[in-house]
Structure 1
């Protein structure tokens, strides 16, 4: 027997398998997609499962290299090792062969690899639990096992092809939604994850993960993932606004802040920093009006306003500051 180890108490799954025997270890059965945006080069993995924190075990990616989904009776080492093999220059097919040939549990595995050129390789072991299968093509692969219906994989493929106009992250979520609508995991829903990395590495790894969202335990994990992605987009606008402020481009900053507030009009922080930007730009009247509902919602924002002049984040005279604190 060969024992294959992976990490975390819940996902550090061990499998002792002879080719003729079914493993008795915990499952991480699921549906997922690995894909690349042909226009931007961005690469992504998205996944949903009736299993706690599925994103910590299934989804792997590295900018400029590729992405990996490892699932079914999970051999978690396929994630980092698959990326390492592709980084060495091996094609997804060559990397998949190397991983699977060394794995006695290959018949129970499901694996998808995609590289920065959009080439893919997918494996569905013959002992994956029905309904199990995959479909792939240039820039994408969808795969699923232990599904309620045979229609999950075709629905995922159709959704990928039908939503080409969407940004990659939103397109990935649409594919998960299509899978769930077609039946999804026979056991139900619990967790989901979305990872998007740059097509080319920047040399700054902290900026190469463009989206990294996980829903570890939720009654509607895909719905929650979709909501979090919208929040992520809103804060992208906020961050862009901050950069414009640093450059003194106040009109562009306000456009970015307004875009964020339009997405989440009830978010007090977005309203607050927009108001502070208005004040710094000399529009005290508008800032005062915007701050009133913020202070009404939480008086701590008023206290924060008192503290900003000390660190140079609010540059107004004493009279204006008094008005802003009313």
Structure 2
């Protein structure tokens, strides 16, 4: 199928008409995607899956307090940053879409969707997008697809998003993409996927406003891997909250968060390790030593790490307790 696709492109370019409209820099990001907003938190997201390498670096654009954009099919990547800039000026999604398409000679080969912090949506599917192609928009979301196996993909995504209101936005977006795949997905198969989530309002701290940015660039089961990464991300959220609880001196809350993280990611040695160190700092030396013994057996480097922690103030125990922790 891929060989046939590129043969077709060469044939089209030979006519010169197609070549005049589509620039060499325009990626062939044929795909399905969703732009969405969480009405409770205000968060905005873009989710995408495609049989194309690193699709998330092409399709997904979002900025806290500004909006989220998916640009695909024969993707005009400039629609991402240019669209966000226009939203930042106060234009509505429809006004932005109209302006982006106005001077684009290849507009009928484009597919683009835009959502803003108010949940307003604008979407375009050009009539030259490869079948099956289409879109469905609703309250706080738009789903769009092209080069699909059938015309059931985007309706399935919309149905999934609307029924999963109880899920956090990232999980809700992932569920919509999984529904699209189950309905048929990309006619070429799967290769890459991504989820990008930003805050609904800007804090003027960009490093804090991007909440989730997960990409699977090349994998035979990208949605399955994306689901795993999202689960790991949530586990580390518990770890971070545990660290914050320690900073505040709340050992009980820290232990609860570390335990929750380990349940979500039971094979991660580092989570077990910091759980043990927290126990040691809380005076539970014997319990911590028992955990560390199992960790050291798997990897001796963690034993050396433990020797270094007192100097950094991360392990506050006596010399006797340190030796007990080290198993000496």
**TM class, shorter-length:** over 0.9
1:137-186 per-position Cα deviation (integer Å, ceiling 9, x unaligned) = 12000000000011001100110011111000000000110011011100
Q: Which has the higher helix share?
A: 2
Give distance in 1, aligned partners of 2:17 and 2:166: 46
CA RMSD across the alignment: 1.7
Partner of 2:54: 53
1:17 Cα offset (Å): 7.3
1:25-46 per-position Cα deviation (integer Å, ceiling 9, x unaligned) = 6521000000000000000000
2:68 is aligned with 1:88: no
Give distance in 2, aligned partners of 1:74 and 1:24: 10
Give distance in 2, aligned partners of 1:43 and 1:18: 38
1:103-148 per-position Cα deviation (integer Å, ceiling 9, x unaligned) = 0000000000000000000000000000000000120000000000
1:102 Cα offset (Å): 1.4
**For the Cα contact (< 8 Å) 1:69–1:79, is it kept in 2?**
yes
Partner of 2:69: 68
Partner of 1:285: 286
Partner of 1:31: 32
1:59-116 per-position Cα deviation (integer Å, ceiling 9, x unaligned) = 0000000000000001000000111111100000000000000100000000000000
1:222-279 per-position Cα deviation (integer Å, ceiling 9, x unaligned) = 0000000000000000001001101101111111101001111111000000100110
Residues 211-250 of structure 1: pairs in structure 2 closer than 5 A: 211-250=212-251
Give distance in 2, aligned partners of 1:62 and 1:129: 29
Partner of 1:210: 211
Give distance in 1, aligned partners of 2:238 and 2:160: 27
Would the alpha carbon gap of residues 301 and 86 (structure 1) be closer, same or farther in structure 2, given more than 3 Å must change?
same
SS in 2 for 1:111: strand
Would the alpha carbon gap of residues 234 and 20 (structure 1) be closer, same or farther in structure 2, given more than 3 Å must change?
closer
SS in 1 for 2:288: helix
**For the Cα contact (< 8 Å) 2:21–2:106, is it kept in 1?**
no
Give distance in 2, aligned partners of 1:267 and 1:52: 29
Residues 89-238 of structure 1: pairs in structure 2 closer than 5 A: 89-238=90-239
Partner of 1:263: 264
TM-score by length of 2: 0.92
Number of aligned residue pairs: 312
**For the Cα contact (< 8 Å) 1:17–1:23, is it kept in 2?**
no
1:23 Cα offset (Å): 5.2
Give distance in 2, aligned partners of 1:124 and 1:246: 51
1:188-214 per-position Cα deviation (integer Å, ceiling 9, x unaligned) = 100000000000001110010100000
TM-score by length of 1: 0.93
SS in 2 for 1:48: strand
Task: Structure 1: state its 5+ residue gaps.
Answer: 1-13
SS in 1 for 2:194: strand
Partner of 2:275: 274
Give distance in 2, aligned partners of 1:114 and 1:162: 20
SS in 2 for 1:143: strand
**For the Cα contact (< 8 Å) 1:19–1:104, is it kept in 2?**
no
Give distance in 1, aligned partners of 2:303 and 2:120: 54
SS in 1 for 2:229: helix
**For the Cα contact (< 8 Å) 1:17–1:104, is it kept in 2?**
no
1:24 Cα offset (Å): 9.1
Give distance in 2, aligned partners of 1:71 and 1:95: 16
SS in 1 for 2:212: strand
Give distance in 1, aligned partners of 2:252 and 2:291: 17
Give distance in 1, aligned partners of 2:22 and 2:204: 42
